[in-house]
Structure 1
Amino acid sequence: MEIEILSRIQFAFTVSFHYIYPPLSIGVGLILVIMESLYLKTGNKVYENMTRFWIKIFALIFGLGVATGIIMEFEFGTNWATYSKYVGDIFGSALAAEGIFAFALESGFLGVLLFGWNRVGKGVHLFSTIMVFLGSMFSAVWIVVANSWQQTPSGYHIVGEGMNARAEITDFWAMVFNPSSVDRLMHVWLGSFLAGAFLVLSVNAYYILKNKYLEIAKPAFKIALTVAAFTSLLQLFAGHRSADGVSKNQPAKLAALEGHYDSSSVADLYLFGWVNQKEKKTSGLAIPGGLTFLVHQDFKTPIKGLNSFEEGTKPTQINAIFQFYHIMIAIGMLLIGLSWYGMLQWKRGKLFEQRWLLLVFGWAVLLPQIANQTGWFAAEMGRQPWVVYGLLKTSDALSKTVKAEHVLTSLILFTLVYATLFVLFLYLLNRKIKHGPEGFDHYEVDETVSSLRTGSLKDPGTATL
């Protein structure tokens, strides 16, 4: 296998594995702020206990995110030395900003968040929770800025020629607010909120199904459901804005996302389908002219198709890009429907009476993760063959001295190590979930006890702890 393919597979694998954890950190962080704010406002110990429990989950996620993220920075130097030289002044400044303004903030207050209970005041502890959450948000800012610059470079000039060429910043804020950074950041943040919300929904759906910790599980479920409902709807608009930016700045990617080849015709909006790359034809269920309408607000204006781009300047894996993109959209619509159906059942007072719905929420924790991954796959594969759009091709960004067998060996080792870390993560997460929130370690809340506490049990003598 060629070194370019191996290096791309290795980096895609490490990024994909790492990207499980930062969205969870951001999403769970938001819910922690809400839970602890409710505790500070009401003084209700239920909110304190659920906050303490989810802080433990957050700490586990944070630790895995740090451990899996560091390795990527080494890969820039080992596998992608030419790329690092070319964009080091720009990419390096964004990574440095993340370390100074985001990671230091997040990790600095994490100690107070974890160990500050009963050592600092309630307000100080809430402030620390907010700072940790903001730190995770700011971390996403600089990573997305760096990646967005590769998609839509701005605020730079090229110095040197040939192998000595490199990009230098001429306008820092133009680099930060490049044409795609804000839209993509909103999309990433909302995807992260959904990942965290559905993790909380899943765990508490499990508790409710098992009739455990109901005093905590039900209000926590409602908090997460509220976050999921509103962020899923906002994600629909954020995703549209991001796609609209792609239509202006990366027309070849837009054509690949929808499998559109003919530049002389309007573009259909596919709900699902299949791209035959040999025949350059896409088939499936589509809204005629739908993509044209979303881009131009009419059904007549043609969309530039893949046939108009020269070979070597456009994506090649069109069907894979098409499928990843439509999986992301399908999951996004499913999350909207599921969340708002849950809100409707809440309004009707039947949210916790439908076992099938709780089972669906229990397994739905996988959906935001799949959507986040497939969205990134579509975005990054759609940028090919460019690693910096229009400036540096992926094939030219490789290290010149690294051999294919070296990359293959490290890929195998990374796979083994990351698989071990993932198993460890699942084991520890399951252990914390089974242990449950503090204050409920020595008993379970079964239906009889729940009835007793609500006053619906006529003979309290039959209830036992």
Structure 2
Amino acid sequence: MFDHLDALVLARAQFAFTVSFHFIFPSFSIGLASFLMVLEGLWLKTGRGVYANLYRYWLKIFAVTFGMGVVSGIVMSYQFGTNWSVFSDKAGPIVGPLMAYEVLTAFFLEAGFLGVMLFGISKVGKGLHFFATCMVALGTFISATWIISTNSWMHTPTGFAINAQGQFVPAGSWLPIIFNPSFPYRLTHVVIAAYLTTSLVVAAVGAWHLLRDRTNTGARTMFSMAMGMIAVAAPLQIVAGDMHGLNTLEHQPAKILAMEGDFEPSPNGAPLILFGIPSQKDATIRYKVELPYLGSLILKHDPTAPLAGLKDYPRDRWPPVPIVFWSFRLMVALGTAMLALGALGLWARMRGRLYDWPLLHRAAILLGPAGFVAVIAGWVTTEVGRQPYTVYGYLLTSQSRSSVAAAAVATSLAVFVVVYFAVFGAGTYYLLRLMSHPPEAHESEPAHIPQRASGITPAAGLAGKLADTTSKEHER
């Protein structure tokens, strides 16, 4: 039999599972939409067919990724009503409109121009098609903006009042709610993470094909662009992460202390604990390896600045320290590896070995999935670190769930696991198949549909294209 705690844990596990799957796809599509915009812009500016080839190559991948992101996101919204109805009731007057703004602005913008972007490259003018691509890229960014604003408000709630029914309602202007204290830092961190995730995938695909044919123009171009982006974005992400950490220390100190493993207060400067085994029960880090004063230097930019410990806060308000401690270290380790890859790419570029250094190419392939793992680790760090609250400091997670039997939650979770791994496993396999095909080695531009004046009807032109596509598939 399941007890009350099991139902809460299962509901949290179900949301964590579905949002983890969902987060993978937007973190890729946000960066990929911008990459497509750059590719098409370079094609229009330079007239080089290699950019048109790469645009069409990655457009197919973007379409599949975007579709899986939309489908996986729909499931999460239902859980607000099924598993978290109390949260929906109490936070709905604020969270509901913010989510609606995301649909009315970002999703409608993406949906309105996505068809032109996917199917109009041979049917509309180049300028109009580029505008559609820009609008889709803008839509993905606006979507991230509203979602991060909503989530950030749950971490640093401002601009609200609590009415007689116990609901969070706007206290006046919506600006303090939208631009809450953690919003700019979290948005910057997430967007850079999306660009890094996309760059790592593009670099891995380019490296894969360079190992097979280092003369392939498309592979060389995509690899060069991706490695350049990694070299720029990785250090920027470290700076953004540092600023985000300082903001979190100000507004959610218990989360930062759990990330650092600081159970004990440090009045004369906190050490940086590199590794160890956290014990929440005993409030200690066993077998820890630490560097003196470095914790205070990172968190307060002063090696001797005092730092509180988790023991300064009520134990029932501590987040699950072991999860936060290790997810944070996984994210930092992967970020360090990305920084090293970017530096290695810069060194190879300066030495003229960017395209003929197998060690660099294998390293890029190895780190291809690192962005996805890092964003999930970052999400676990920030969301588990918010516990035991859904609205930090005001609404406990245990007070937010629906009165649903644990058996029902367990059954739906099992169904989700089976369906998600089947559907999205097949989708991921198809994406890998698309990426395994090398980009065109020669430069070419998208073909335009012949006009009626040429004596060829649109139907005949379409039939010819289908025949040509079929023959190419047989050749492959």
Would you say same fold, with TM above 0.5?
A: yes
Q: How does 1:185-204 map to 2 (within 5 A)?
A: 185-204=187-206
3-state SS of 2:308 partner: coil
**1:81 alignment counterpart:** 85
Q: Find 2:104's aligned residue among 93, 100, 105.
A: 100
1:27 aligned onto 2:53: no
Q: Which segment is superposed worse, 76-85 or 355-364? A: 355-364
Is the 8 Å Cα contact of residues 214 and 220 (structure 2) preserved in structure 1?
no
Q: Which whole-Å deviations, capped at 9, do the CAs of 1:216-263 have from their partners, x for residues lacking one?
A: 110111111111111111100110111001110011111111010122
**1:227 alignment counterpart:** 229
Q: Which whole-Å deviations, capped at 9, do the CAs of 1:169-210 have from their partners, x for residues lacking one?
A: 122110011010110000000000011111111111111112
Report the alpha carbon displacement of residue 369 of structure 1 after superposing the two structures with TM: 0.8
Is the 8 Å Cα contact of residues 152 and 180 (structure 2) preserved in structure 1?
yes
Q: Find 1:253's aligned residue among 234, 252, 255.
A: 255
1:328 aligned onto 2:331: yes
1:13 aligned onto 2:17: yes
Q: Find 1:56's aligned residue among 54, 60, 65.
A: 60
Distance change in 2, residues 1:280/1:390 (3 Å)? same
3-state SS of 1:157 partner: strand
3-state SS of 2:276 partner: strand
Q: Which segment is superposed worse, 50-59 or 350-359? A: 350-359
Q: How does 1:434-449 map to 2 (within 5 A)?
A: 434-437=436-439
Q: Which segment is superposed worse, 349-358 or 211-220? A: 211-220
Is the 8 Å Cα contact of residues 213 and 436 (structure 1) preserved in structure 2?
no
Q: Which segment is superposed worse, 410-419 or 23-32? A: 23-32
1:168 aligned onto 2:172: no
Q: Which whole-Å deviations, capped at 9, do the CAs of 1:276-327 have from their partners, x for residues lacking one?
A: 3343222433331222122333222221111011132221x21221010111
Report the alpha carbon displacement of residue 427 of structure 1 after superposing the two structures with TM: 2.2
The letter for the 1-side match of 2:153 is: W
Tell me how many residue pairs correspond in the alignment: 436
**1:242 alignment counterpart:** 244
Q: Which segment is superposed worse, 190-199 or 269-278? A: 269-278
Q: Find 1:267's aligned residue among 267, 270, 275.
A: 270
Is the 8 Å Cα contact of residues 154 and 175 (structure 1) preserved in structure 2?
yes
**1:460 alignment counterpart:** none
**2:452 alignment counterpart:** none
3-state SS of 2:261 partner: coil
Is the 8 Å Cα contact of residues 208 and 217 (structure 1) preserved in structure 2?
yes
Q: Which segment is superposed worse, 46-55 or 279-288? A: 279-288
* Runs of 4+ deviating beyond 4 Å: 438-441
Q: Find 2:301's aligned residue among 297, 314, 336.
A: 297
Task: State percent identity of aligned pairs.
Answer: 38
> Partners of 1:430 and 1:46 in 2: how far apart?
21
**RMSD, aligned CA:** 1.6
Report the alpha carbon displacement of residue 70 of structure 1 after superposing the two structures with TM: 0.5
Q: Which whole-Å deviations, capped at 9, do the CAs of 1:44-87 have from their partners, x for residues lacking one?
A: 11110111111111001000000100000000000000000010
3-state SS of 1:20 partner: helix
Is the 8 Å Cα contact of residues 271 and 287 (structure 1) preserved in structure 2?
yes
The letter for the 2-side match of 1:211 is: D
Is the 8 Å Cα contact of residues 259 and 318 (structure 1) preserved in structure 2?
yes
1:339 aligned onto 2:342: yes
Report the alpha carbon displacement of residue 440 of structure 1 after superposing the two structures with TM: 6.8
3-state SS of 2:277 partner: strand
Is the 8 Å Cα contact of residues 257 and 321 (structure 1) preserved in structure 2?
yes
> Partners of 2:193 and 2:276 in 1: how far apart?
24
1:375 aligned onto 2:370: no
Q: Which whole-Å deviations, capped at 9, do the CAs of 1:337-375 have from their partners, x for residues lacking one?
A: 111211210121111222122111112111111110011
Distance change in 2, residues 1:212/1:59 (3 Å)? farther
Structure 1 runs not aligned, ≥5 long? 442-465
Report the alpha carbon displacement of residue 264 of structure 1 after superposing the two structures with TM: 4.4
**1:459 alignment counterpart:** none
Is the 8 Å Cα contact of residues 217 and 442 (structure 2) preserved in structure 1?
no
Distance change in 2, residues 1:5/1:35 (3 Å)? same
Is the 8 Å Cα contact of residues 219 and 439 (structure 2) preserved in structure 1?
no
The letter for the 2-side match of 1:389 is: Y
Q: How does 1:123-138 map to 2 (within 5 A)?
A: 123-138=127-142
The letter for the 2-side match of 1:75 is: Q
Is the 8 Å Cα contact of residues 214 and 356 (structure 2) preserved in structure 1?
no
Is the 8 Å Cα contact of residues 388 and 397 (structure 2) preserved in structure 1?
yes
Distance change in 2, residues 1:326/1:434 (3 Å)? closer
Report the alpha carbon displacement of residue 270 of structure 1 after superposing the two structures with TM: 2.6
3-state SS of 2:415 partner: helix
**2:461 alignment counterpart:** none
> Partners of 2:288 and 2:46 in 1: how far apart?
53
> Partners of 1:232 and 1:322 in 2: how far apart?
22
Distance change in 2, residues 1:264/1:235 (3 Å)? closer
1:352 aligned onto 2:355: yes
> TM-score, normalized by length of structure 1?
0.91
Q: Find 1:155's aligned residue among 150, 156, 159.
A: 159
Structure 2 runs not aligned, ≥5 long? 444-476
Is the 8 Å Cα contact of residues 213 and 437 (structure 1) preserved in structure 2?
no
Is the 8 Å Cα contact of residues 36 and 126 (structure 1) preserved in structure 2?
yes
The letter for the 2-side match of 1:26 is: I
